[in-house]
Amino acid sequence: MKEIRPEEISALIKEQIRNYDQKIHSDDVGYVISVGDGIAMVQGIDKAMSSELLEFPHGVTGMVLNLEEDHIGAVLLGNDTLIKEGDEVRRTGRIAEVPVGDAMLGRVVNALGQPIDNGGPIASSKTRPIERVAPGVMTRKSVFQPLMTGLKIIDSMIPIGKGQRE
């Protein structure tokens, strides 16, 4: 074992403090100041990003939509009746994204791209942010194949094309 001299102790402590990395920063946690109509106003989170995912109690996820000076507004992507004033909210540091690819065809998913059709997990290794600039109309392939929903009323009133993004 190496012997440490008394004059080295101060330098070692200062180096440890300088290299210390907090796992949770105080600006990563906030609290709900109001909730209603699927929107939660959160105070105490200063460095949130637009479209960032937030963790609310009871496994409810939220997405940052409004960045105000003293609070943020988040849409709740779950049961908003479980959320109340004073609840703790945590940043995830992740922008909302969904899986993409052929594995998504014919699947029913929620707003986070999670399957809700009892068809098992979606085997897709690629993801894309949900807020993304669409390719220009002239650079896209034209829609040539209809996508039938299986609901006659929807298929007759709102024709949907496979691959369409309008």
- pLDDT tens per residue, range 102-160: 988 889 998 888 899 998 998 888 999 988 887 787 887 777 788 888 888 888 888 78
Q: What is the pLDDT of residue 27?
A: 59
Q: How does pLDDT run across 68-78, given as a tens digit for each residue?
A: 999 999 999 98
Q: What is the pLDDT of residue 114?
A: 87
Q: What is the pLDDT of residue 32?
A: 97
End-to-end CA distance of the chain: 69
Sequence-distant (≥ 6) Cβ neighbours of residue 55 within 8 angstroms = 61, 62, 89, 90, 91, 92
> Domain 26-95: which CATH class?
mainly beta
Indicate whether this model's pTM tops 0.75. no
Phi/psi-derived region of residue 86, left when phi > 0, alpha when psi is between -120 and 50, beta in every other case: left
Q: What is the pLDDT of residue 23?
A: 60
Sequence-distant (≥ 6) Cβ neighbours of residue 68 within 8 angstroms = none
Q: How does pLDDT run across 14-67, given as a tens digit for each residue?
A: 888 887 765 655 558 999 999 999 999 999 998 899 999 999 999 999 999 999
Element spanning 126, H or E: strand 126-129
What are the domain boundaries of the chain?
26-95, 96-132, 135-166
Q: What is the pLDDT of residue 24?
A: 54
- Amino acid at residue number 8: E
* Burial class of residue 112, CB neighbours in 10 A (0-12, 13-18, 19+): middle
